[in-house]
């Protein structure tokens, strides 16, 4: 019997496992496939170093500039000068494997090639997780169960805490890692917002490598086809200025959904169970950034589990502390605001977004607010939308 069984060794699950194992608890970290590269832009802001200070010692591609484009190609740039605040762009396969190794080094048991699909039940209680493996069904019993297996989670739905994602609740995205000569500034990540609910990105990954992708959100998931949007984005003349070649080598390509509605506050915890990361909706609904918030949720869920195990009370009442944690509340609040700003920006075929870019081009403090919102999940001031509405 483990103290905690975690399904999914993405950033959220690995951080949760590492925190618990460091505190001396027995942890099973169940993972479908550690060789799977999660479809992702791989841009991670400096907040990640709060949770993993040791990452500063690794040779990731560093970023200290951002450019945001509106649908009519108004744009503004931002350069954050404090050297400690650099972001990193990562290849998700390498990054996820690294975080899994941190969890294993701390003492967690990583169970690879295990596909969790159901709970072990006893007297109406969930007492563990069943997983499919090449050698048959395996059962992992645990006092607390943490669901961290992302958007495809079967356990989250079986737990009764949440329903299957509806199409308009997610962002649908497709991206690729490509290699070849390009004109992308090596220090800059670029976001390209559209006249529909969606955006594209260009993230440098090294001398000749880059991550390119795009996605749609909300009702526009039903109005646009992600494969067509992706091809259009690759061939857009404005994008071709950055990637002029016709024969980029595709290192990898993938499509995947991500949560688009912010934190699912009503489905974060239940009787001896917690949901973290993407399963819990921990993704900024305007920027799609979910790695740092997912890691934060994993750490806080682990700390909640530690208190519950130490007090021998793993009930729903005790696990509620996870939802009430100031950081979870802050993330949740900031994502609610981002969602309403996203809705506003995409009104009038993206004209409000263009207005935001125009103001940011000329007003340094407004520019900082916008960048903080996109990059650091910081809530903008209350009069942000009022100002946008009042500007011509």
Ligand X SMILES: Cc1cc2nc3c(=O)[nH]c(=O)nc-3n(C[C@H](O)[C@H](O)[C@H](O)COP(=O)(O)OP(=O)(O)OC[C@H]3O[C@@H](n4cnc5c(N)ncnc54)[C@H](O)[C@@H]3O)c2cc1C
Q: Give, rounded to a whole angstrom, the gap between the first and last alpha carbons of the chain.
A: 63
Find the shortest distance in angstroms from Cβ 350 to ligand X: 20
User: How many Å separate Cα 162 from the centre of its chain?
Assistant: 19
Of 214 and 345, which has the nearer Cβ to ligand X? 214
- Which of 1, 36, 207, 235 forms a contact with ligand X (CB under 6 A)? 36
Find the shortest distance in angstroms from Cβ 116 to ligand X: 4
> Does residue 218 touch ligand X according to CB under 6 A?
no
> Does residue 375 touch ligand X according to CB under 6 A?
no
Looking at 8-16, 218-226, 300-308, 355-363, which segment touches ligand X (CB under 6 A)? 8-16
Count of positions on this chain that bind ligand X (CB under 6 A): 39
Q: How far apart are CA 387 and CA 392, in angstroms?
A: 10
Find the shortest distance in angstroms from Cβ 359 to ligand X: 25
Find the shortest distance in angstroms from Cβ 14 to ligand X: 7
- Which of 31, 87, 91, 144 forms a contact with ligand X (CB under 6 A)? 31
- Site pattern 280..309 for ligand X (x: CB under 6 A): ---x----xxxx--x---------------
> Does residue 133 touch ligand X according to CB under 6 A?
no
> Does residue 13 touch ligand X according to CB under 6 A?
yes
Of 296 and 388, which has the nearer Cβ to ligand X? 296
- Which of 93, 115, 120, 127 forms a contact with ligand X (CB under 6 A)? 115
β-partners of residue 311 are none
> Does residue 256 touch ligand X according to CB under 6 A?
yes
Residues that bind ligand X (CB under 6 A): 7-13, 30-33, 36, 38-44, 115-116, 148-150, 152, 154, 173, 175, 213, 256, 258, 277-278, 283, 288-291, 294
């Amino acid at each position: 019997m483990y103290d905690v069984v975690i399904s999914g060794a993405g950033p959220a699950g690995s951080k949760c496992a590492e925190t618990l194992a460091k505190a001396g608890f027995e942890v099973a970290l169940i993972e479908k496939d550690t060789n799977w590269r999660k479809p992702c832009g791989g841009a991670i802001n400096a907040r990640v170093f709060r949770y993993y200070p040791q990452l500063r010692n690794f040779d990731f591609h560093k970023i200290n500039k951002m450019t945001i484009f509106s649908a009519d190609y108004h744009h503004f740039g931002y350069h954050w000068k404090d050297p400690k605040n650099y972001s990193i762009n990562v290849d998700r396969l390498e990054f996820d494997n690294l975080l899994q190794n941190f969890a294993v080094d701390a003492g967690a048991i990583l169970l690879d090639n295990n596909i969790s699909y159901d709970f072990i039940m006893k007297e109406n209680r969930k007492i563990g997780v069943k997983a499919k493996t090449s050698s048959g069904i395996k059962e992992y019993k645990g006092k607390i169960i943490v669901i961290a297996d992302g958007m495809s989670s079967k356990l989250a739905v079986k737990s009764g805490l949440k329903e299957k994602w509806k199409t308009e609740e997610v962002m649908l995205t497709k991206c690729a890692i490509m290699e070849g000569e390009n004109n992308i500034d090596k220090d800059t990540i670029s976001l390209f917002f559209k006249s529909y609910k969606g955006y594209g990105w260009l993230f440098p990954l090294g001398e000749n490598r880059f991550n390119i992708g795009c996605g749609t959100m909300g009702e526009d998931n039903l109005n646009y086809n992600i494969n067509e949007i992706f091809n259009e984005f690759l061939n857009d003349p404005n994008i071709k200025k950055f990637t002029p070649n016709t024969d980029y080598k595709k290192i990898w390509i993938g499509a995947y959904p991500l949560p688009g509605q912010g934190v699912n506050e009503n489905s974060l915890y239940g009787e001896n169970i917690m949901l973290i990361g993407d399963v819990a909706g921990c993704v900024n609904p305007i920027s799609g950034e979910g790695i740092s918030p997912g890691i934060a949720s994993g750490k806080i869920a682990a700390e909640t589990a530690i208190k519950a195990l130490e007090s021998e009370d793993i009930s729903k009442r005790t696990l509620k502390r996870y939802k009430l944690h100031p950081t979870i509340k802050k993330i949740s609040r900031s994502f609610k605001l981002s969602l309403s700003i996203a809705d506003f920006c995409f009104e009038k075929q993206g004209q409000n977004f263009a207005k935001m870019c125009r103001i940011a081009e000329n007003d340094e403090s407004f520019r900082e607010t916008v960048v903080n919102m996109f990059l650091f999940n910081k809530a903008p001031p209350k009069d942000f939308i009022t100002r946008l509405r009042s500007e011509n």
